[in-house]
Structure 1
């Protein structure tokens, strides 16, 4: 009777066994840490005992800073996710409008920090810049996850509700929302460390208190043990936020524990598209025009509405005039001034090259590890603590250390970008693989299919929508991470050029760089969307 009433209850011994792999992972990492601290990186990496001792001494120091950072992160998390979910729901009956908002939202994660930070510092006081950056870090991730979940439903279920006289709102309530919960939870999980990271970056760039300010003070004083202690606290907070959300959902909605779901269903397309070449060209032109118009409008409103924005920001019209008539203040490698647009484009090509290498490394590793973790659950319990810890360390704090460890070239940039892209792809793909209907797996078992057939014929096809949605998130992230790496370490590329321009108060050049980065991010997103349409079209 007890087993029937509580089908998901697990013995205490089994739950304790699940804790063994993460604990062993922590132990192995601690041993590796000790080896690094006593080896060649001793001047950069403090010993674990030193950091733990510093953390014990700083116990009272953490409380006030953690409360400030988490308050900003929570506000940004709620605002960003609320906006994303509302946009996904309100635009659901209008797929073209939804696609437009999704493309425009790319700008939320494509805006370079070097341009955003001065604008926020002038326009807002207190913790508001941290709240805005936390919201900026989550809105696009959650929007993509919500759209994927709401559209990737079983078509038969939608047809049954409509045939029974149900309205579109009934379809959303009865079919789409329940089916979207797994995907949405994954998006919210990925967004949780991002919100904390965004809040810390806001403090790092000019706050008065919080973990970001504490990190700046520790690094400025060369207090390496304290800086590492703060990084550990940040990782623990991110891990707690990541793990708490699914527990809350499973408690409130216990039926979501069932694996027999249709999350992997193909997104229902409203009507057949005209596939003639002229029609495709017309759709592409209209899509590009609408996207550019939406981005330009949002950019213009940002500069117009934000108090004091005109002092450090430039609108699209000013940037256009600058490209036509301006002259950069930067001294180039040749020792001569160059026209801004050719110089920016050449710098952008270097940035895209760095971003592309790191993205591909992160993508391949994430997909491979998702397959391995699905087939061997113990690997997931080992891998997830490491990936959460790496994702939660602020890139503005991690990049200088990576530069010292791997040099100031492509290796350090690749590591940083791979870490940034690995986590969201891993989480989304692994969740989609878990959502494969049991009946499909039983069918393959019945015909004697081998493990590789399960992977290639079942897991990968079902996870493809989630994988492609993750690629749409990761590509703009890669460009942004490459620019931060160039800003802090490498000294080349568009990120470094914009940093030099900012120190000279050449905001025309800075916001010209913003325009170039937005264009590159939108093109990357469009490429990912085209791959998504082609891949899903072949599966239909």
Structure 2
């Protein structure tokens, strides 16, 4: 055991001891943070209840994991072979990427029965991490390797089979590693729609009882499963010699849209809108349900803008939207700011990672749907909980993205400063931080959809306010019209926020170039 590993283990042991003491003394929110021994005792006492719930959740998460990743890999291969396909479908992909699954869940609960809503939510949650990573691996092959295949008479398909797929395998495994906790999130959220078994059902039923140890036990079991899958895939990836840095690409970056002529960009945009609307109509038609239940784009427009009850709909919607957006902005900016400060601090003092990264890893592996009631125990059922939940879902992705930017400072500039014995802070201020600015903007772009997920979950299951509360009430009253309006409005807001952040990112990159 190396000295570094011993220090890490000692740090973790100290944190466990502090948690135990704080929990036993009830120092946090009058016992809302129980001791680890109390959590373990609750788990042992209730263990007979867990197997059927675990089996249901693992079945839905596993099926969604397989289906979502299969579709992601097939689409990544198709985009690598025929890049125009990605440009044509980019509007649909951006919308799906930005649309929080918490607003999709009630729609799927109406459209499908049995375990399919849970499976589809798990598949949606895992789709983008895998597709993004696979695409990056397929497109970052050394040009010489592809040229060898072409020189021997091989085409695109042969180059993909012989070169690109092998090169993309470590990146594919990185995507699968990130997707594993996401599958648990999708399955748990689907179980919140209803059902007899599943960790989500058990968690929802336990929220009304004053049993913090039970809630923590369920949350830590879900986190343990996610962490085990994350770690297992990480071991496989490292056994192949893959590095630990994950790409920060996204499913909309075809690399050609920005360079195309204005007329071509307009044509691609119009085609993308047609594909999006066509997919919407196809989904509604596939359910076989009437449009009074499964609204089309025209139905949503009528209910929100032109219909006789549109004004009443807007009166209910706009105040809720304003409250949710304010919480999302405050929470996401706070999460990104904390991530930025921590990333800079870890660059200056790398040893601090032994204390901070275990908590960051826990926030990554514990599904947010399991974390929401725990945060509510600690911070109450007010706006503060909504903001804290939003911080928790935006913090870790922002931290990873910003750390990548800080690690990619130009070596030549670093060598110049080292030659004059510049301090770490001077190097950070003059070179490292300026070069990480595009990554900071990328973290804003990627945080927008996650911030909305956090806000809507906290509002729906804790505070009952904002768009999340309105969505929950609409589901309870079977107000399909309002459910579809909320889904469409959230999608538009998320896509516009994403586009604004992406535009700012491109402006900064052009100025730096």
Q: Distance in 1 between matches of 2:133 and 2:501?
A: 15
| Alignment match, 2:143 | 158
Consecutive unaligned residues of structure 1, counting only runs of 5 or more, are 1-10, 329-336
> Secondary structure of the residue that 2:80 maps to in structure 1?
coil
Pick aligned residue for 1:326 from 295, 300, 307: 307
Residues 76 and 22 (structure 1 numbering): CA distance in 2 closer, same or farther, change over 3 Å?
farther
Residues 268 and 322 (structure 1 numbering): CA distance in 2 closer, same or farther, change over 3 Å?
closer
Residues 429 and 148 (structure 1 numbering): CA distance in 2 closer, same or farther, change over 3 Å?
farther
Q: Does 1:239 align with 2:227?
A: yes
Which stretch of the first structure deviates more once superposed, 114-123 or 126-135? 114-123
> Secondary structure of the residue that 1:207 maps to in structure 2?
coil
Pick aligned residue for 1:22 from 3, 6, 12: 12
Q: Distance in 2 between matches of 1:102 and 1:269?
A: 11
CA contact (8 A) 1:263 1:435 kept: no
| Alignment match, 1:289 | 270
Which stretch of the first structure deviates more once superposed, 490-499 or 391-400? 391-400
> Secondary structure of the residue that 1:27 maps to in structure 2?
helix
CA contact (8 A) 1:106 1:140 kept: no
CA contact (8 A) 1:115 1:514 kept: yes
| Alignment match, 2:281 | 300
**How big is the shift at 1:137?**
1.4
Q: Does 1:353 align with 2:339?
A: no
TM-score normalised to structure 1 length = 0.79
**How big is the shift at 1:193?**
1.6
| Alignment match, 1:217 | 205
Q: Does 1:382 align with 2:355?
A: yes
**How big is the shift at 1:420?**
0.6
| Alignment match, 1:474 | 447
> What are the residue-to-residue correspondences of 1:163-312 with 2, within 5 Å?
165=150, 168=156, 184-251=172-239, 253-254=240-241, 256-257=242-243, 269=255, 273=259, 280=262, 282=263, 285-286=266-267, 288-306=269-287, 308=289, 310=291, 312=293
Pick aligned residue for 1:520 from 483, 493, 498: 493
Residues 474 and 291 (structure 1 numbering): CA distance in 2 closer, same or farther, change over 3 Å?
farther
Q: Distance in 1 between matches of 2:83 and 2:330?
A: 33
| Alignment match, 1:7 | none
> What are the residue-to-residue correspondences of 1:339-488 with 2, within 5 Å?
339-341=312-314, 343-400=316-373, 402-403=375-376, 405-430=378-403, 445-446=418-419, 448-452=421-425, 454-455=427-428, 459=432, 468-488=441-461
Q: Distance in 2 between matches of 1:41 and 1:402?
A: 14
> Secondary structure of the residue that 2:227 maps to in structure 1?
helix
| Alignment match, 1:127 | 115
**How big is the shift at 1:292?**
2.9
| Alignment match, 1:316 | 297
Which stretch of the first structure deviates more once superposed, 480-489 or 357-366? 480-489
Q: Deviations over 1:4-56 (max 9, x none)?
A: xxxxxxx5555444433333333333344444x255423x4444433221112
Q: Distance in 2 between matches of 1:171 and 1:408?
A: 56
Q: Does 1:56 align with 2:44?
A: yes
Q: Deviations over 1:130-152 (max 9, x none)?
A: 2211111122333344445555x
